[in-house]
Amino acid sequence: MSTTTGIPPAQSADAAIKENKKTLSRRNIRIGLSFIAPALIVLSVFVFYPTIKTFFTSLTTDRINRKGIFVGLHNYAELFTNADFWTDFRNTVIYAVAYAPLVVIVALAFALLLNRKDIKGVGFFRTCLFMPYIISLTVASIAWSFLLSPSLGLIPYWGKVLFGIQHMDLLGTKSTALATIIFITVWKNFGYFMVIFLAGLQGINPDLYEAASLDGANAWQRFLHITLPGLLPTFNYVVIFGLIGSFQVFDQVFILTSGGPDRATETIVYRIYTEAFGNGKMGYASALSYVLLIMTLIIGVIQLVWNNKHEKEEIG
């Protein structure tokens, strides 16, 4: 008489299925890692490692030509007690607070204008307004330096001819230099944001406007209750991108004013450059870089929290 002590067929099948799932899962993980490995390598070499290295450098007195000693948070303490830093901080904040709303307003205004179908050649005008964005900021800044030159520039010339303004030097005057750089940057970048707003406008259901018109809503009411709510995700992107970009202003300052006159246009990024490559103080420049990073992160986190709160209110 013999007995069978084998595993029941049902359990054996379940075990085989589970084993196949595990094998498939491991294979999917390997395939996924192989796809993202190149990006991870690039990020590790050009983002993660420099970020970590910069932090450790900020805790030292390293100079561009020699190794320094570990000083802990001394660079940060020196930074926050330096009056020049607070000048740079003020200029950066003023630039960001002025630039971000201006570029959003200008971009939205042109997007609303060029979203109309009754304008002939609308594609041509969109292209013309987008063109400044694809021009190198360095090239654009050099061109504006010639246009604004007190001796050779067209703008001072026509200011003198039309309005009788003598010796117009917008970039060399402390009260107008930063405003001029803000204007140039808005001119340079608004075309990009205009295209983003155009995409958002074209994603709004036109039936909503038609229904609102039938209910007697005027243009302002349609804009306030249909256009703005429909553009909210676009606004979030544009504001975040604009604010973060405004904290990184450098090229136009470097080319047009070199931080002058009398530090009126010197920003934190320009100060990082001068401390690192002008004075050779890599440790101090690294501390400045981390302060700027923290400022940018704070702005980003505040914006994300506000966005999440607003989305929850809409869902609720």
Q: Is the pLDDT of residue 5 over 60?
A: no
Q: Is the pLDDT of residue 3 over 60?
A: no
Q: What's the rounded mean pLDDT across residues 271-282?
A: 94
* Residues 193, 45 share a domain: no
Query: What is the pLDDT, as a whole number, of residue 29?
Result: 87
In a domain, 64, yes or no: no
C-alpha dist (Å) from residue 189 to 49, 125, 196, 243, 276? 31, 16, 12, 12, 28
Total count of domains within the chain = 2
* Residues 225, 105 share a domain: yes
Percent of the chain with pLDDT over 90: 61
Query: What is the pLDDT, as a whole number, of residue 176?
Result: 94
In a domain, 169, yes or no: yes
* Residue the block writes with tokens 């009411």: 221
Q: What's the rounded mean pLDDT across residues 69-81?
A: 94
In a domain, 211, yes or no: yes
In a domain, 5, yes or no: no
Query: What is the pLDDT, as a whole number, of residue 232?
Result: 86
Instruction: List helix spans (H) across the chain.
Output: 9-43, 49-57, 74-80, 83-114, 122-134, 137-147, 154-163, 177-202, 206-214, 219-222, 228-230, 232-246, 251-256, 268-273, 282-315
Q: Is the pLDDT of residue 271 over 90?
A: yes
In a domain, 123, yes or no: yes
Could you count the other beta carbons within 10 Å of the beta carbon of residue 24?
10
* Residues 242, 119 share a domain: yes
Q: What's the rounded mean pLDDT across residues 25-48?
A: 89
Cβ–Cβ under 8 Å, residues 80 and 288: no
| Positive or negative torsion for Cα 248, 254, 256, 260 | positive
* Residues 144, 43 share a domain: no
In a domain, 4, yes or no: no
* Residue the block writes with tokens 């940060």: 76
C-alpha dist (Å) from residue 135 to 138, 142, 192? 8, 11, 12
Q: Is the pLDDT of residue 254 over 80?
A: yes
Q: Is the pLDDT of residue 225 over 80?
A: yes
* Residues 148, 271 share a domain: yes
168-201 pLDDT tens trace: 999 999 999 999 999 999 999 999 999 999 999 9
pLDDT band at residue 302 under the 50/70/90 scheme: confident
66-70, 102-106, 217-221, 302-306: segment of lowest average pLDDT: 302-306
76-116 pLDDT tens trace: 999 999 999 999 999 999 999 999 999 999 999 999 999 98
Query: What is the pLDDT, as a whole number, of residue 279?
Result: 92
* Residues 111, 31 share a domain: no
DSSP assignment string, 108-158: HHHHHHHT-SSSTTHHHHHHHHHHHHHS-HHHHHHHHHHHT-TTT-HHHHH
* Residues 273, 233 share a domain: yes
| Domain encompassing residue 309 | 74-315
Q: What's the rounded mean pLDDT across residues 53-81?
A: 93
Query: What is the pLDDT, as a whole number, of residue 38?
Result: 92
pLDDT band at residue 167 under the 50/70/90 scheme: confident
* Residues 45, 92 share a domain: no
Residue 47 is given by DSSP the state I
Residues with Cβ within 8 Å of residue 224, at least 6 apart in sequence: none
Residue 60: strand pairing partners = 70
In a domain, 37, yes or no: yes
In a domain, 248, yes or no: yes
* Residues 113, 52 share a domain: no
CATH at 188 = 1.10.3720.10
Instruction: Please compute, for residue 208, the number of CA atoms within 13 A of its CA located in the half-sphere on the CB side.
Output: 16
Q: Is the pLDDT of residue 1 over 50?
A: no
C-alpha dist (Å) from residue 103 to 184, 193, 221? 11, 8, 23
Closest CA to 183 of 115, 265, 118: 265
List the Cα angle 48/57/66 in 5-degree steps.
125
230-241 pLDDT tens trace: 898 888 889 888
* Residues 200, 51 share a domain: no
Cβ–Cβ under 8 Å, residues 30 and 247: no
Q: What's the rounded mean pLDDT across residues 253-271?
A: 94
* Residues 81, 36 share a domain: no
For residues 100 and 129, what is the distance between their CA atoms, to the nearest angstrom? 18
Buried b (16+ CB within 10 A) or exposed e, 261-285: bebbbbbbbbbbbbbbeeeebbbbb
Q: What's the rounded mean pLDDT across residues 205-219?
A: 88
* Residues 17, 86 share a domain: no
Q: Is the pLDDT of residue 216 over 90?
A: no
Query: What is the pLDDT, as a whole number, of residue 72?
Result: 93
